[in-house]
Amino acid sequence: MTISRRRVLGAASILGAAAVIGSCGSPNPGDRLDVIVVGAGMAGLSAARSLTRAGAKVVIVEARDRVGGRIMTSDLWPAAPVDLGASWIHGTEGNPIYDEAEALGIDTAVFDVGSTDGKGSAVLYSPNGTRLDADSAEQRLDAVLERLERMPAPPEVSLAAGAEKLPARLQTAASESSLTEFAADYGATPDQLALSALAEDDSFSGPQRVFPGGFGQLTTRLAEGLDVRYGTAVQAISLRDDGVALEAGGQRWIADAVIVTVPLGVLKAGTIRFDPPLPEDHQRAIEAIGFGRYEKLILQFDEPFWDDVDQISVARSGAFTNWYNLKRVTGQPVLMALNGGAAAAELEGLAVPGQTTLAAETLSGIYGGRFRGPLAAQASDWWSDPFSRGSYSFTAVGSSADDRVVLGESVGGRLWLAGEATHPTLHSTVHGAWLSGRNAAEQVSR
């Protein structure tokens, strides 16, 4: 799925956190617009680009001082930019994110974690540093998941409930493989995650890739030529017979239509007031779909002491059990830990120094005297961020793809919701967000 590339009207580009003005005739609050896009994440950028190419008068209002939303590249370490939000392009064949990166000449690198490359791309340790058979552990997990995928999976059945119905020979394997760790990849716990989530396929074919220079390179380039108003948080959206009115940043904006691309966590929190309230079906869908916890801790070292593999895992539940070797793609001695679900909840309120101490205990337990303390650390906190309130959506117990379809439906022919949570099959991904924004723009243009 690719988007034809045409010259975008206006010559402005993003420089740091400065506001982008599409042209000298850029609209002011109070001027009537064709469409207002709320949020400059991937869905918002996609929608605005599509509408601008079609000749629409569009403004993006963005609460942050940057584009990207849950895509955020930190340049705190100049030699080693790191992504505190989304990292991966999940498959390349037909993936619009990969297509856009290629068209813009932005370098990507294969980082197909968990694959077998003959050199051992993943290693597994016990907490005390004993090397375990990663292939056998993966095979046990696969056997459990294959059996779970064959079970009837009505929306009200959780992953945990499904595991209780496994035959005796797989019960131990289910415990060993840790369904808690599996659910953590969704940002959830086994009790929260619907069993039906196992049947979902949200990736394209082809290798998984990352941006050695950071995912933020792409969002910065995609925002070129768009009129983005930073520091403009939306407080209220009113639907009227002749259009929509927004209260944002102490100003009033008027347009024929609005596309709201804020994360599901923000919709759940109710920080934007809708007048009239969103339809009951939309409200039920917002409540039903899960919004997960998934956080990163990234450590910089003077030199590597760890295995020269992509992924390093520890055979236990809890925080700091999954590490990714960023040196493999950036050349810099950096490790990234991913903590989801219950592991992320364990770390709530713990500042970076405290997280670093816990992480160091895990790494020193694995590597013993080879371990060297980190030079610096960075961590995400999407759960506490008022403009995200979580990481990405998941299929919670009681929800289904129908809820996501409802979220993408028009409200009064004036308002559309977009973002990864609204895509019925590709949710939880950057490409799902991109496609949802493009779909909303197409509906507005009809």
Structure tokens, 417: 């919701």
Would you place residue 167 in the very low, low, confident or very high pLDDT band (cuts 50, 70, 90)?
Answer: very high
Which burial class, exposed, middle or buried, applies to 15 when counting CB atoms under 10 A from its CB (0-12, 13-18, 19+)? Answer: exposed
The stretches of 150-188 forming alpha helices (DSSP H) are: 159-164, 168-177, 179-184
What is the signed CA dihedral for 158, 160, 161, 164, rounded to 10 degrees? 160
| 110 Cβ contact list (under 8 Å, min separation 6) | 207, 208, 209
Structural domains for the chain: 32-69+215-291+389-445 (3.50.50.60), 73-95+110-114+206-212+294-379 (3.90.660.10), 134-199 (no CATH)
Residue 177, pLDDT above cutoff 70: no
d(CA 105, CA 310): 25
The CA–CA distances, whole Å, from 92 to 84, 207, 341, 389, 402 equal: 22, 6, 27, 29, 27
Length of the chain: 446
Please state the rounded mean pLDDT for residues 46-51: 99
d(CA 187, CA 340): 5
Structure tokens, 49: 């680009």
Would you place residue 138 in the very low, low, confident or very high pLDDT band (cuts 50, 70, 90)?
Answer: confident
The position carrying tokens 């390179």 is 217
> Which pLDDT belongs to residue 2?
27
In angstroms and rounded to an integer, the radius of gyration of the C-alpha atoms of the chain is: 22
- Closest by CA position to 373, among listed 300, 295, 297, 296: 300
> What tens digit of pLDDT does each residue of 16-42 get?
333 333 434 678 887 999 999 999 999
Residue 330 and residue 212 in contact, taking contact as beta carbons nearer than 8 Å: yes
Structure tokens, 122: 């993943």
Average pLDDT value over all residues in the chain? 91
> What tens digit of pLDDT does each residue of 350-402 get?
999 999 999 999 999 999 999 999 999 999 999 999 999 999 999 999 999 99
d(CA 60, CA 393): 23
Predicted structure pTM score = 0.91
d(CA 209, CA 365): 30
> Which pLDDT belongs to residue 310?
95
Please state the rounded mean pLDDT for residues 230-236: 98
Structure tokens, 62: 């963005």
Three-class SS of residue 442?
helix
Structure tokens, 76: 């705190």
